[in-house]
Every structure is written in C-alpha cells, then in structure tokens.
Amino acid sequence: MNLFQIIAELEKVDPEIADRLSHRRSALTALGNFGKKMALAAAPIAIGSAFNKAVGQNTLTAVNDVLNYALLLERLEYSFYNQALSAPTLAANLTSGSAARGAIETIRTHELAHVNLLKAALGSAAAAEPTFDFGTAFSTYPTFLTFAQAFEDTGVRAYKGQAGNIPRTLNPTVGGTQVNLLTVALQIHSVEARHAAHVRYMRRGAAAGAQTSIMPWIVNAEANGAPSAVYGAGNPQANFPAENNLAQGGISSLLTGLGTTYTDADVSAAFDEPLDNTTVTAIARSAAKF
C-alpha cells in the first residue's frame, strides 16, 4: 500500500466536495500534521485505518476520476495477461492451440478492448500508463491462475463499487457513438464476472493447482489461496461488506428472512459484493508494483 499515492489521489478530488465535507478537510490536515511528526512508512496500517475511518471509502467523485480508476485496473489486467502469455515459466501450460491459452487470449483481448474504450471515453483526460511489475506472479501456472482469480474477482467488486458514482443520465459520445456510461460500466462488469468464473474453473485442473471444489462463484468469503482481502470487507463495512454477507436490501438475514431456509454458502454466493476504491487500490498494490 502506497500511502503517499493514495493521499495524492485524494488531494486531486474535486475541490467542491472537499469544501462540502469539512470533516474531510480537517481529516486531511490532521493527517498532514501527523505525517510531519512521524515516519509514515513505519505505521502505514495505523494511518491507513485512521484515514479510512475519518474520510471514508470511495474517494472518487468526478466521473473522469472513476474512469481513470477503471482504466488503471484494466491496464493492470491487460498487462498481467499479456506478460503471462509470453512468460517462459508458463509456456508449458499455455501451449499454442490449448484451451488454456485460448481462454487467456480471449480474456486479454477483452481487457485491451476495455482499455481502448476507456481511453476513448477519457480523451485527453486519460492518465499516463504506468508499467506493471507482477513480481513472482508467473513463477508457476497455479500461482498465475491464483493471481488471475484475485484480479478478476477484485475487478468485479471494483466496478460494482463505483456504480453509484456514475450518473445514470450521462450519455457521452465515445468513438463516434453515443453511449450511456453507466450501461457501459455494467457491460464491462459482467464480462469481468464471466472471466472470473472461467479462471476459477481453470484452477480445478491437475496442473493448475487442483482446486477440485472451487466454484465459478464466491462461496462465503473463501479465498482459495488468493489474498483474503479480495473477499474481505471494504470501508465502511456497512456499504462494502465481505463476500460472506448474508443481509441484503434491508432484510437482515436471507437465511431465514425469505420464508424458507437457505444455507450461508448459497446466500453468500447468490450476491457479489462491491468494494471501495481505496481498498481495491491497496489490493492491487499488494499484488503488483506500478
């Protein structure tokens, strides 16, 4: 987690919002003073949680900020698959003509299309492209697929977490065609979920790590070897619950509140959960340097 980066991002937030939310400004000031008095790197978690509690979760407000956030995640995913497809360590598993290589190529094609679409939507407001270092993610085939699952499931949660930040009446012209931005975001979101489902099933293979009971959907908050934060709660927890959440839409427990008895596993799997951008970015930075 790069705290300086997150603070820098927050400072870029629409000044009107900062004015409206005076407690946010004072939280920033407090954080600034705190930062001067001690080495930030020595206590990132303490500061991070204080920051989250004071300011909240989704620090993105302007639509371009949301789009650049999506662009960053899509670039990360595209780079991840692009690097994987040429990684010598994965060549034996991603052989030309194999179902596995075909699936990863399909996913890479979609991620690139998402990158290009978001760049077109942002125009000159598109952020510069970082370089991504995925460390040991490609060391083995099972490791690669575990990372892939983490990125896809996180991507699904990330888009879901921004749905309320995209005005439903925003209809910009992208590439000569007028589109509804919220609809486009939803159309990307469900493609990421399809990717996640397939990658999860790829992990069942003997050479892929033999996760023989993994499902295409998320059961409880089971991470299956991925970082637990991918399936954990965001901030605030009430808005961004962990994937094992059993309460929806004012019904406190779907186990018993629906007139028939369902299991935790089925109820949790029937609903995916959103995640705030601060938590998503922290997860991404724990998995890749950029």
Partner 1 sequence: MSNITQKGSDEAEFAKPLYTPIKRRSFFMYAGATAGATALLLSGCDDDDDSVTTPSGTVNLGMGDVGVLNYAYALEQLEAAFYAQVVSNSSFSTTFSNADERTALMAIAKHEAIHRDFFKAAITQAASSQIIPGLNPDFSKVNFSDRNSVLTTAKTFEDLGVAAYNGAGALIQNVTYLGIAGKIVSVEARHAAYIRDLLSNGTFADNTTVDTNGLDKAMTVAQVLTAAQPFIKETINGDNVGK
Q: Hey, which residues does 248 pair with through a beta bridge?
A: 251
Instruction: Give the torsion sign (CA, 161, 164, 167, 168).
Output: positive
Q: Are 71 and 122 in contact (CB under 8 A)?
A: yes
Nearer to partner 1, 17 or 270 (CB): 270
Residue 165 contacts residue 66 (beta carbons within 8 Å): yes
Pairwise CA distance, residues 212 & 116, whole Å: 36
Question: Is the separation of the CB atoms in 167 and 66 below 8 Å?
Answer: no
**Token couple for 3:** 């705290």
Chain positions 129 to 158 lying near partner 1, rule: CB under 8 A, are 156
Where in 165-204 is the site for partner 1 (CB under 8 A)? 168-169, 180, 182-184, 186-198, 201
The DSSP code for 281 is H
Q: Least Å distance between CB 173 and partner 1?
A: 14
Please report the beta strands in the chain, taking only residues with DSSP state E, as ranges in sequence order. 173-174, 177-178
Q: Binders of partner 1 among 72-101, rule CB under 8 A? A: 99
**What span, in angstroms and rounded, lies between the C-alpha atoms of 104 and 109?**
9
Does 164 participate in binding partner 1 (rule CB under 8 A)? Answer: yes
| Region near partner 1 per CB under 8 A, out of 55-63, 88-96, 225-233, 258-266 | 258-266
Q: Which is nearer to partner 1, 126 or 163 (CB)?
A: 163
Using the minimum distance from each CB to partner 1, give the nearer residue, 2 or 61: 61
Task: For residue 269, state whether it binds partner 1 (rule: CB under 8 A).
Answer: yes
Ranges of beta strands (E only) in 216-272 are: none
Q: Which is nearer to partner 1, 40 or 186 (CB)?
A: 186
Q: Which stretch binds partner 1 (CB under 8 A): 53-61, 220-228, 246-254, 279-287?
A: 246-254
**Concatenated DSSP letters for 156-172?**
HHHHHHHGGGS-TT---
Q: Which of 27, 208, 267, 283 binds partner 1 (CB under 8 A)?
A: 267
- The helix (run of H) or strand (run of E) holding residue 192 is helix 181-202
Q: Per rule CB under 8 A, is residue 103 in the interface with partner 1?
A: yes
* Residues of this chain that bind partner 1 (CB under 8 A): 99, 102-103, 106-107, 109-114, 116-117, 156, 159-160, 163-164, 168-169, 180, 182-184, 186-198, 201, 215-217, 248-251, 254, 257-260, 262-263, 265-267, 269-274
